Copies of this chain bind each other. A is one copy, B any other.
Amino acid sequence: MKLGRVRGTVVSTAHHPAYDGHKVLLVDPVDERGQITGEPIVAVDHVQAGVGDWVLVNQEGGGTRLVLTGRADGVLPIRSLVVGIVDEVDVP
């Protein structure tokens, strides 16, 4: 998983039906000081995250499929899911 900060929202009218009703976020991977550490990620929201929120992103298709369809063979081309809103990163 990666620590990230939501930068914006991706609007897509023509998409695979699995994306219907989902908010699609553009997320910057960051370290605990908020420095960007890599390429932006696009992820579907699952925790009502908004722009500016620090989040936890899981990038794995099997887990996302099970969460969003309840089945290992649900037809869902979505790999990345925002699975948590981060309150704090505790670095001593």
A-to-B contact residues, CB < 8 Å: 1-3, 7-16, 18-19, 24, 26, 29, 31-32, 37-43, 46-48, 51, 56, 58-67, 70-81, 83-92
Contact = CB atoms under 8 A, between A and B. Distances in A.
Contact of A15 (B43, B59, B85, B92): B85
Q: Which 8 A-B pairs have the closest CB atoms?
A: A15-B84, A8-B91, A60-B61, A63-B77, A12-B84, A1-B42, A60-B79, A11-B88
Nearest to A63: B77
Given A37-B40, A51-B92, A72-B73, A63 B79 contact: yes
**Which has the most chain B C-beta neighbours within 10 Å: A12, A41, A47?**
A12
